[in-house]
Amino acid sequence: MSTHLAAEIKRRKTFAIISHPDAGKTTLTEKLLLYGGAIQLAGAVKAKRGRASAVSDWMEMERERGISITSSVLQFPYRGLQMNLLDTPGHADFSEDTYRTLHAADGAVMLLDCAKGVETQTKKLFRVCKQRRMPIFSFVNKMDRPGREPFDLIGEVEHVLGIGVYPVTWPIYRGATFRGVYHRQKREVHLFDAKKAGSSAASGAEVADMIVTGLDDPNLRAELDEQGYSQLREEADLLDTAGDAFDHERFIAGDVSPMFFGSAINNFGLQAFLDTFCELMPAPLPRIIIGGKAPTIAPDDETFSAFVFKIQANMNKSHRDRVAFMRVCSGRFERGMKVHVVRTHKDIRLANPTSFMAQERTIVEEGYAGDVMGVYDPGIFEIGDTLTSGPEFSFEEIPSFAPEHFVRAVMADPMRRKQLKTGLDQLAQEGTIQLYRSVEGLAGDMILGAVGKLQLEVVKFRLKAEYDVDVRLESLSVEFARWVSRTDGLPVDMRAFDRERVGTPCLDVRGRAVVLFAGDWQFNSATRTFTGINYAETAQGQKATKQA
């Protein structure tokens, strides 16, 4: 094994930020770039509008709406490390891509708003991270504003998410004003210049000044006044006596999360967070494989390997191109290198892979385990594809996720039914949406399911742009889908669901049996009507059905 390869891989930190909209993800991302020296002044990532054009102005719709639809990766250096920050869209542009991107990450930063705590989208994203057992950092943001008690927030994270919390820093107050953080491991007090907080124009454009001192510094009492000082001492003692010591193994397994407090917009608490992040965030670890010589492949294995976690079409409208995003899991990649696509058993040359730095796309000359790159895709990749330079094996399947929005596709021009079918099939294969068609012998519409509402709009837009089909999407009274199979392995009698009016039986794009339910009441009557049927929330592990 080459030492150069090992050294390059060790420098890489590939992670995502998970949060609910408005918690401050854009702001934190910008500050990471600022602290990393990747940008001079804050402003490269800018809130929404600016961001869409600065980072990923790919789709027309994206520009129109000023939001970014699919995730990209920001690569920037930080103190000799190579940071690969995967973007996980969280607004209306929340989609299956957001979940899939987490499979390309080695760790996550969970960002919480101190006044709101654990919110719905945080919960959903957290679940995916937890499933993958990846290390998770927590950053409690907006501490410059009134929020919940820190102990209360910790309790919520522990109870709602089921992960232990180890506070690395602890907030310090003077009266109601957030004055700094106490770094428990270093036993350092970081005091911020409170006057700078919220000062408009220059706010947060520079790395924050801070005074670093110890708990016993006599000046601290004056800085915080008597009450703030004794509160800090008491809480610091309480944390030390009541809490467990930091357990590195449990952190790596995703069972305990180091927590930090701060204010991203004011740059408060960021230094302490970043220092610990750089120290604790693991470099790429071995990944589980199927059909290989061993159960895992090490990142510094000489064999190049990667998997496709996202396919983005129409990044350039005039070319109708598609870009497949892949995460390198082992070895070294070189531009122009020949690799093997395991699913199709074909060799291809990776000619012009690109990476996406804050403002520009650049051609990648080389890449290592942990890196993410976009490769021009003339239609040969599918989500989940494994690429390797050596003998065949596959990475674990990327799970599919439970759709939450369901619509019926209605055509303006019935003559274009064939194009609609081709288009929807293609988009479903790509993983842009889930597609359900009626079971043979039953009349029915093409039904689409998506994790995020905007995915449906993307479908409408792309059907028009790429297949010249005008389609109207009508909402349906479907609340959820369940993939069905029989406990005895025999085919499910799908038409029986229709006969008994206890759900809409369909087949998904891979021919797997799925039933759509209007609500719990209908689902409950189905489970009462039929016995010996398994109902799964996702298509994960399900097989195509042979109809009875």
CB 476 within 8 A of CB 407: yes
The least distance separating ligand GDP from the CB of residue 112, rounded to whole angstroms, comes to 11
The least distance separating ligand GDP from the CB of residue 135, rounded to whole angstroms, comes to 21
The least distance separating ligand GDP from the CB of residue 93, rounded to whole angstroms, comes to 11
Q: For residue 443, which phi and psi values (nearest 5 degrees)? A: -75, 150
**Is 153 one of the binding residues for ligand GDP (CB under 6 A)?**
no
Alpha carbons 82 and 75: distance in angstroms, whole number: 7
Helical axes 25-36 vs 270-280, angle rounded to 10°: 80
Give the range of 261-269, 296-304, 335-343, 465-473 binding ligand GDP by CB under 6 A. Answer: 261-269
Judged by CB under 6 A, which of 10, 13, 16, 27 binds ligand GDP? 27
Judged by CB under 6 A, which of 98, 263, 271, 426 binds ligand GDP? 263
3-state secondary structure of 464: helix
**Is 492 one of the binding residues for ligand GDP (CB under 6 A)?**
no
The least distance separating ligand GDP from the CB of residue 199, rounded to whole angstroms, comes to 12
List the interface residues with ligand GDP, window 408-437 (CB under 6 A).
Answer: none
- List the one residue out of 495, 470, 379, 354 whose CA is nearest residue 430: 379
Judged by CB under 6 A, which of 141, 314, 485, 545 binds ligand GDP? 141
List the interface residues with ligand GDP, window 295-314 (CB under 6 A).
Answer: none
Alpha carbons 107 and 86: distance in angstroms, whole number: 10
C-beta of 207 vs 238, nearer to ligand GDP: 207
Judged by CB under 6 A, which of 10, 13, 18, 24 binds ligand GDP? 24
**Is 26 one of the binding residues for ligand GDP (CB under 6 A)?**
yes
CB 421 within 8 A of CB 412: no
C-beta of 84 vs 263, nearer to ligand GDP: 263
Alpha carbons 431 and 383: distance in angstroms, whole number: 7
Give the range of 15-23, 179-187, 380-388, 390-398 binding ligand GDP by CB under 6 A. Answer: 15-23
**Is 65 one of the binding residues for ligand GDP (CB under 6 A)?**
no
The least distance separating ligand GDP from the CB of residue 39, rounded to whole angstroms, comes to 15
Calculate the alpha carbon distances from 524 to 7, 34, 529, 531, 533 in Å: 56, 53, 9, 12, 13
User: Which tokens hold the place of 456?
Assistant: 């449906």
Alpha carbons 320 and 232: distance in angstroms, whole number: 59
**Is 145 one of the binding residues for ligand GDP (CB under 6 A)?**
yes
**Is 165 one of the binding residues for ligand GDP (CB under 6 A)?**
no
Judged by CB under 6 A, which of 14, 19, 82, 434 binds ligand GDP? 19
Judged by CB under 6 A, which of 41, 47, 205, 294 binds ligand GDP? 47
C-beta of 181 vs 313, nearer to ligand GDP: 181
> 82-121 mask for ligand GDP (x: CB under 6 A)?
----------------------------------------
Long-range contacts of 425-433 (CB under 8 A, 24+ apart): 425/509, 427/459, 427/462, 427/463, 428/508, 428/509, 429/382, 429/509, 430/311, 430/313, 430/322, 430/382, 430/383, 431/96, 431/97, 431/100, 431/311, 431/382, 431/383, 432/313, 432/458, 432/459, 432/462, 433/459
Rg over alpha carbons for the chain, rounded to the nearest Å, is 25
- List the one residue out of 116, 271, 244 whose CA is nearest residue 180: 271
**Is 180 one of the binding residues for ligand GDP (CB under 6 A)?**
no
Give the range of 264-272, 377-385, 386-394, 533-541 binding ligand GDP by CB under 6 A. Answer: 264-272
Give the range of 24-32, 75-83, 446-454, 523-531 binding ligand GDP by CB under 6 A. Answer: 24-32
Alpha carbons 435 and 295: distance in angstroms, whole number: 33
Alpha carbons 463 and 460: distance in angstroms, whole number: 5
The least distance separating ligand GDP from the CB of residue 280, rounded to whole angstroms, comes to 22
C-beta of 26 vs 330, nearer to ligand GDP: 26
**Secondary structure (DSSP) of 303-329:** S-EEEEEEEEE-SSGGGT-EEEEEEEE
Write out the residues near ligand GDP by the rule CB under 6 A.
19, 21-27, 47, 141-142, 144-145, 263-266
